[in-house]
Amino acid sequence: MSAGDRKNGGDKPKEAAVWPEVERAECLARGAALKWASGVFCRPEHLERLSQYKKRESQRTASIHTRLKSMVQSYLEGVGWGLEQLREARDELREVSLTLKEAGLESDGNADCLASLEKLREVSVDHRQLFAAVSNLPRLYAIRGMVLETERLVESRRLLEAHARLMDLERWQDDILWQLHGAAGTAGSSLSSEDTELVAKYFSGVGQLVDALGKELWAVVSSSLALARQNPTPFVSAVRIVEREEALDRALLAERGGGGRPLPAGRPRCWKACFFQVLEEAVSARLRSVSYLHTRGPGLAGHLSALQHAVMADLATVRHLLEHCVPPHYQLTAAYLRASHRCLHTHLAQVSSWDLESGEIFAVLNWVLHIYNSPDMMGHPELVTESDRSELGPLISAEGVEQLQSKYVQSVRKSVSEWMHKALQVELQDWQRDQEPDTDHEGFYQTSLPTIITQMLEENARVALMIGESLRDQTIQMGLYEVENLLNRFREALVEFGKEHRRDPTNNNKNKFYLHYLLASISNCIILKKSTESLQQQQSSRFAGMFSRTPPNPLAALDRAVRRACRLVMDQLLLELQPFLPSLLTRPWLVQGDPVPKLCSVLESHLDLYGRVRPPCRQRLQEEAQWLMVVEYVRALMQKKLVCRSSEERRQLAQQMILDDQLLREVFHSLQESEVSLPDVNPLALLPVLADFIRLKDPGMLTLEVSGLVAKYPDISEEHVSVLLDVRGDVSRDIRWAVLDLLEQSAPPLPVGYRPIFTDILVPPSTLAFCLPTAKCA
């Protein structure tokens, strides 16, 4: 290591201790250079470009040194200029300090001269106070007389003259107080409380005059509507006084803002704001003066009509008379509109809080939503331009309207529920009448129940629509709920009606028209269904999405009631057929043909009554009667009351079944000719198929016959086929096993829409003979 290196090495710890950032920067620079060099000279052949890199780095280092020197030079020049400025400022401060010291010495020398002027100042203050007292003596002596004169003018309602005198008194009082305040300020003290109390004593009547004048002024403003039709002069005088006071308030506030006189006591009076406040109170008083007698009940609509006429009459007076008595910037009509709106808003909020009936709520909603904004009232073309409707806001808030609508719906629901209950009680009483139900112009049975319900629901929907679609939708929704409840009670009443009839079916006097009223009930349900669908179509489509509760389903309740009534009708048909069914498919029947003609007679009478039922239930009853007759016929066959002993008996049995089928088809001939579509499986077609099965001569063909039977009636079971084989009486054990085995293997599923017929027919259990295992039997 050389001496220079040792020297540098010896200086490094000291330099690092003073500038640690320099050592850190040097380390970082060396590390970066080493990293760069290792990346550039990673191969021996790269060393050939070492001279180029060295030259480029030397040029860059020289450029950096040059810029550093230039920057340091500029900084040094700025520091030198700053030091020069500081030296000049120090010299100037030294000169100012010397000057101030000289001025202080001169001031101390003149302090003795000021004491001689103090006595002159006191004399000047006394002179000013004496001059103010002498100049104000005439005013002070005249105050009492002016106060009395002003009081007389106020009492006689010569308001302009009274106000002029009052302004003079107030100006005198303000001038005296200002003079005293100025004298006190010159003396170097504030106005004493004795001086203030002395002035207040002299002008003690001025404050009372202000109150008396204001009282008369507001009395004139309150009665402005009445004065406008008789003599508007007092109202004009009141407005001029208000304008004078407003001008005085503005002038006094401007003087105070400019550093002049302080505001006198009681200023600013803001009589213009008081003017509009009194006007609003007068409007409220006039609205309260509208008769409140008979406000509740039907009188509420009359009360609202009286409010409408009172408001419009006052507005006409304001527009045509009072508006010309005030400056244009008062916008008196708009102010009266705002005052009337606020008063009506408060009054209707009070009315809405009452326990109102539906008619009263309707009157309020109709007045608020339609009459108030109509051209007959606030929507009048001459009033629309006077004020902005958005500033006034709604007469009743949206929440208040919604609450009123909810109260209306609840009130109507209570009334509808009561009327429906009464109508149902009348319906139950009609069922006990000893005469047929009434018929409409088409000859269908009906009672008064659907007419009452339909008219009530449609009338409520029509009335609610006069308020708006929202209320109409809520009312219809409520009506549908009540219809659903009514139909549930109606179905329960039908069940009780049927139970009562079954308890004493032989009492012809009491149950003579039982079936007729069941059919009338079915027709009633059809009418109610059309009415319900009409109401549902009237509802807005958006209402369904807004409804949070489970929507009503009156159509489902209607369907349940109709199905219950149809079931009772079929029970009554079965009850009347029951005496003749035991002799069906017996040996006497095989010989004589009875009792099928009697059964057909019963069916004909029932089908004739079914014609008094509105479609489509008429066709439904006819179809149900057809199914019932076939099911009972096949049930009688399944009881094996007749077992054939020979082929001749099988032929006679099949022939008689064909004849019975023809008789039944003649009875249902009208059903077959109707335009109503019959079910996919005609139950009457089953009888010829069973007749062919029994008439078949070759038992070996029974397997094929059973296959066709299963294909047409997939709900037939092994028990049914086994009974049919027993009725034939000629089937061997092998054939029976083959048929039953085929039936077991080819049990097809029931097709979609297929109505089972054999499922409703239970096969009676067979009574097999058996013996106990005794020794004798063995």
Do residues 617 and 726 share a domain?
Answer: yes
- What per-residue confidence (pLDDT) applies to 769? 42
Write the DSSP symbol of residue 368: I
Helix (H, G, I), strand (E, B) or coil at 324: helix
Q: Rounded to an integer, what distance in angstroms lies between the CA atom of residue 478 and that of residue 535?
A: 11
Q: Do residues 506 and 558 lie in contact, with contact meaning Cβ atoms separated by under 8 Å?
A: no
- What per-residue confidence (pLDDT) applies to 182? 57
Do residues 337 and 434 share a domain?
Answer: no
Q: Rounded to an integer, what distance in angstroms lies between the CA atom of residue 602 and that of residue 618?
A: 17
Q: Do residues 746 and 710 lie in contact, with contact meaning Cβ atoms separated by under 8 Å?
A: yes
Last residue of a domain, one of 499, 533, 565: 565
Task: Examine residue 350 and state whether it is found in any structural domain, yes or no.
Answer: yes
- What per-residue confidence (pLDDT) applies to 437? 92
Do residues 605 and 487 share a domain?
Answer: no
* CB neighbour list of residue 756: distance below 8 Å, 6 or more residues apart: 715, 750
Task: Examine residue 668 and state whether it is found in any structural domain, yes or no.
Answer: yes
- What per-residue confidence (pLDDT) applies to 14? 47
Do residues 614 and 503 share a domain?
Answer: no
- What per-residue confidence (pLDDT) applies to 472? 92
Average pLDDT, the chain: 82
- What per-residue confidence (pLDDT) applies to 598? 92
Do residues 443 and 592 share a domain?
Answer: no
Do residues 461 and 538 share a domain?
Answer: yes
Largest Cα span, the chain? 173
Q: Rounded to an integer, what distance in angstroms lies between the CA atom of residue 706 and that of residue 731?
A: 13
Task: Examine residue 208 and state whether it is found in any structural domain, yes or no.
Answer: no
Do residues 330 and 462 share a domain?
Answer: no
Phi and psi dihedrals of 65, rounded to 5? -60, -40
Write the DSSP symbol of residue 439: E
Q: Rounded to an integer, what distance in angstroms lies between the CA atom of residue 177 and that of residue 200?
A: 10
Do residues 625 and 730 share a domain?
Answer: yes
Stretches where the chain sits below pLDDT 50 are 1-17, 184-189, 293, 545, 674-680, 768-778
Q: Which residue has the tokens 């079910």?
A: 679
Do residues 561 and 588 share a domain?
Answer: no
Number of domains present in the structure of the chain: 4
Do residues 711 and 663 share a domain?
Answer: yes
Task: Examine residue 766 and state whether it is found in any structural domain, yes or no.
Answer: no
Do residues 290 and 329 share a domain?
Answer: yes
Q: Which residue has the tokens 């070759």?
A: 698
Q: Please name the residue ranges forming H helices in 49-158.
A: 50-155
Task: Examine residue 491 and state whether it is found in any structural domain, yes or no.
Answer: yes
Task: Examine residue 246 and state whether it is found in any structural domain, yes or no.
Answer: no
Q: Residue 589 belongs to what H/E stretch?
A: helix 587-592
Task: Examine residue 778 and state whether it is found in any structural domain, yes or no.
Answer: no
Task: Examine residue 369 and state whether it is found in any structural domain, yes or no.
Answer: yes
Query: What range does the domain containing 86 cover?
Result: 51-107
Q: Rounded to an integer, what distance in angstroms lies between the CA atom of residue 231 and that of residue 54?
A: 113
Q: Which residues of 575-614 are buried (b: 16+ CB within 10 A; e: fewer)?
A: ebbeebbebbbbeebbeeeebbeebbebbeebbebbebbb
Please report, for the domain that includes residue 472, its CATH number.
1.10.357.50
String of DSSP letters for 656-707: HHHHHHHHHHHHTHHHHHSSSPPPSS-GGGHHHHHHHHHH-S-GGGHHHHHH
Do residues 589 and 686 share a domain?
Answer: yes
- What per-residue confidence (pLDDT) applies to 193? 63
